[in-house]
Copies of this chain bind each other. A is one copy, B any other.
């Protein structure tokens, strides 16, 4: 109970300070923000030893707690990774400042001039899991977009996150960034995260970054508006009029280039007209690449020598995040679209086709953040889209959809200038 009270006090204090910092940060120009980003980058190099020392404590604790090698790998900092963070900060400094952009403006018949201006959201709460680089990435993007940030990382990375936050927050403060603009909740008690999720008076937006259960917890418990990121159950649909070579290339890329990420494909749909010809090549190639295939009865019937397990209803709903692919033969474009809209997570969906009408219908009727014709779903990414940065990929329809860069961390304000108008 005492720990819980302390946790709540810390969150309350830091969120309130962040709100005050955000008010001042909103009017800080790009030159000062960029100077701060460069100073943060320099400080990471200069204080590298301190960071590695803190990280070693986390790694030691993780080993003692018996965390998997995979999790320990994600948690690990080394000079190369710190250098990558440093480069990330420098890169954010080169991006255009979104704040102050007039996204629209018009004059009303009564003479009022209405300007719609891009402004920061205010205070952004980031709730995330093990990788400590998120601490630096998120702080940089929030700072560049004029927002204060309250970070809440995983308990397994607490020493690394405290050290990283100290280093970058001090460097930023040295360049005149308001104190409190970059804050980390140091209490690892769960009450802290829960409290952060309901601090509507101080926090303008929450972005959870991590696995499905973290995101679900935030969506369920937050009263602060949330931008949901994450799950991608993506499909490649090979149409009756697909170029088979292109379809294979796109399928292999979407499944195998990085199976653990949200824009990787999880299900392959194949039009019945080309199933025989296409699957005879595709299943063998998947097998050679070490992909476990789970197929519908028709797919299994065409599998020949290639081992194909029976796909269950559950498989079609699953984001495997691994070298596993569900394969289903469909009778028509309609069936493909219906399957995707039913089983998909509205993330990234691709059709491979040479048929104009099929391409158009797929783009119009599939409900997803990104729909692709003749390209891999793997391109759904802030860098691949040309945003120069990414805070996550929004899986919801409100505010931001798809890859989120700096613009998605802003809102607008109407600035209305008159000369005495009344209504």
Instruction: Please measure, in the bound complex, the distance between the C-alpha atom of A333 and the C-alpha atom of B357, giving whole angstroms.
Output: 61
- Please give the count of copies of this chain that the complex contains: 2
How many Å from the CB of A142 to the closest CB on chain B? Answer: 14
Q: Which of A160-193 contact B (CB under 8 A)?
A: none
**Chain A interface, DSSP helix/strand/loop, else mixed:** mixed
Bound Cα distance A27, B341 (Å):
15
Total A residues in contact with B, Cβ cutoff 8 Å? 67
Binary flags per residue of A379-423, CB closer than 8 Å to B gives 1, else 0? 110001110000000001111011000000001111111111111
Indicate whether A253 reaches chain B with its CB closer than 8 angstroms.
Answer: yes
- Are A374 and B413 in contact, with the CB atoms below 8 A? no
Contact across chains for B108 and A386 when beta carbons are under 8 A apart: yes
* Interface contact A249-B396, CB-CB below 8 Å: no
Tell me, in angstroms, the Cα distance from A215 to B414 when the chains sit together.
Answer: 23
Assess A414 versus B396: contact at CB under 8 Å? Given A419-B374, A421-B379, A422-B249: no
Contact B399 A398 (CB under 8 A): yes
Say whether A371 contacts B413, CB under 8 Å. yes
A376-B423 CB under 8 A given contacts A365-B23, A385-B114, A401-B413: yes
A56 within 8 A of B: no
A297 in contact (CB, < 8 A): no
Give the distance in Å from the alpha carbon of A190 to the alpha carbon of B167 in the complex: 51
A343 within 8 A of B: no
* In contact, A373 and B417 (Cβ under 8 angstroms): yes
The verdict on A368 contacting B413 (CB below 8 Å), with A114-B385, A220-B223, A250-B422 known, is: yes
The answer to whether A311 has its CB under 8 Å from any CB of chain B is no
| Residue ID in chain B nearest A204 by CB atoms | B397
Shortest Cβ distance from residue A359 to the other chain B in the assembled complex, whole angstroms: 8
Verify B225–A420 contact, CB threshold 8 A: no
Query: Of all chain B residues, which has the CB nearest A417?
Result: B373
A421 CB contacts on chain B under 8 angstroms: 374-376, 379
Q: Is the Cβ of B420 less than 8 Å from the Cβ of A243?
A: yes
Contact string against B for A residues 235-256, beta-carbon threshold 8 Å, 1 for contact and 0 otherwise:
0000000010010011011100
Is B223 a contact of A374 with CB atoms below 8 Å? Answer: no
CB atoms of A112 and B401 under 8 A apart: no
**A422 pairs with B378, CB closer than 8 A:** yes
A252 contacts across to B, CB distance below 8 A = 422
Cβ of A234 within 8 Å of any chain B Cβ, yes or no, is: no
What are 16 A-B contacts defined by CB distance under 8 Å? Answer: A23-B367, A26-B367, A27-B364, A108-B384, A114-B386, A204-B396, A204-B398, A252-B422, A359-B417, A371-B414, A372-B418, A374-B418, A375-B422, A376-B423, A378-B422, A399-B399
